[in-house]
């Protein structure tokens, strides 16, 4: 319990401190602001190691697409991946709910780094052009798009069907998909107590090429990620 409290307090104080330090970056080029995101990713790693004795094992680095555009589809179990994946990939572009942009200071950072917002509870004119917006942003950026096909954080043992929007993004972008499976929920679960002395495995799977039917793509992606997660259990 004490280790959990120490981790939570020190980690979030560190995030606040980094955010304050990088406030001037809001009037600088986005590349400066993105450095703050990478530092937060490393901060998460070190806090997990120091306070909870949690190690991070990354496998499959050889599968990372490095010669063409791609987007990342990652399992989502905790806050960990939103921070740490920035240290593996080139500062991914996030898709997030519009409400997050209204958070003081934090929302300014999200806008500055080019995050894509969506109103998940309503069908709006903005949402109808959502996929065209994604296509335009990805085509004009060297950074990969990051999506969470499950739609939200889930418990480590849950296996919900992937959202249909995942297939529509794949169909619209016509680029490779980089699947990533990770079991962060065993350490940092949603709305539960943190665990210690464990290993978070981040498995970077072989990319899926464009050209598949969107339904076939979703089934393949879901099977690949969940099969990998089952091996980690």
Per-residue pLDDT of the chain in tens (233 residues, 90 and over written 9): 788 889 999 999 999 999 899 989 888 888 899 999 999 999 999 999 999 999 999 999 999 998 889 999 999 999 999 999 999 999 899 888 778 777 777 788 888 888 887 766 555 455 557 788 888 888 888 899 999 999 888 888 889 999 988 999 999 999 999 999 999 999 998 878 889 999 999 999 999 999 999 999 999 999 999 999 999 86
Secondary element (H or E) of residue 190: none
Which pLDDT score is estimated for 144? 94
Q: Is residue 32 domain-resident?
A: no
Strands 176-182 and 70-74, by their bridges, are parallel
Domain count across the chain: 1
Please choose, from the candidates 230, 223, 222, 232, the residue with its C-alpha nearest in 3D space to the C-alpha of residue 202.
232
Which pLDDT score is estimated for 192? 81
Domain that residue 180 falls in: 55-232
Q: Is residue 26 domain-resident?
A: no
Rg of the chain over all Cα atoms, to the nearest angstrom? 17
Q: What global pTM score does this model have?
A: 0.89
Which pLDDT score is estimated for 95? 84
Which pLDDT score is estimated for 128? 57
Q: Is residue 30 domain-resident?
A: no
Q: Is residue 64 domain-resident?
A: yes
Q: Is residue 190 domain-resident?
A: yes
Q: Is residue 85 domain-resident?
A: yes
Q: Is residue 38 domain-resident?
A: no
Strands 199-204 and 176-182, by their bridges, are antiparallel
Which pLDDT score is estimated for 118? 75
Q: Is residue 221 domain-resident?
A: yes
Which pLDDT score is estimated for 78? 92
* Burial tier of 125 (Cβ tally within 10 Å: 0-12, 13-18, 19+): exposed
């Amino acid at each position: 319990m004490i280790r959990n409290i120490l981790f939570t307090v020190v980690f979030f104080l560190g995030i606040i401190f980094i955010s304050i330090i990088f406030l001037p970056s809001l009037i600088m080029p986005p590349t400066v602001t993105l450095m703050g995101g990478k530092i937060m990713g490393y901060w998460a790693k070190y806090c997990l190691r120091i306070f909870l004795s949690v190690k991070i094992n990354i496998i499959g680095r050889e599968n990372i697409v490095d010669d063409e555009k791609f987007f990342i589809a990652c399992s989502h179990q905790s806050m960990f991946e939103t921070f740490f994946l920035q240290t593996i990939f080139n500062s991914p572009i996030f898709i997030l709910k519009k409400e997050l942009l209204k958070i003081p200071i934090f929302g300014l950072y999200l806008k500055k780094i080019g995050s894509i917002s969506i109103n998940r509870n309503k069908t709006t004119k903005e949402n109808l052009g959502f996929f065209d917006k994604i296509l335009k942003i990805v085509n004009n950026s060297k950074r990969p798009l990051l999506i969470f096909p499950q739609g939200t954080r889930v418990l480590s043992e849950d296996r919900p069907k992937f959202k249909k929007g995942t297939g529509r993004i794949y169909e619209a972008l016509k680029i490779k998909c980089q699947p990533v499976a990770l079991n962060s929920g065993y350490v940092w679960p949603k709305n539960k107590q943190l665990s210690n002395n464990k290993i978070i495995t981040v498995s970077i799977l072989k990319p899926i090429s464009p050209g598949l039917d969107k339904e076939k793509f979703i089934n393949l992606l879901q099977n690949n990620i969940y099969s990998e997660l089952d091996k980690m259990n």
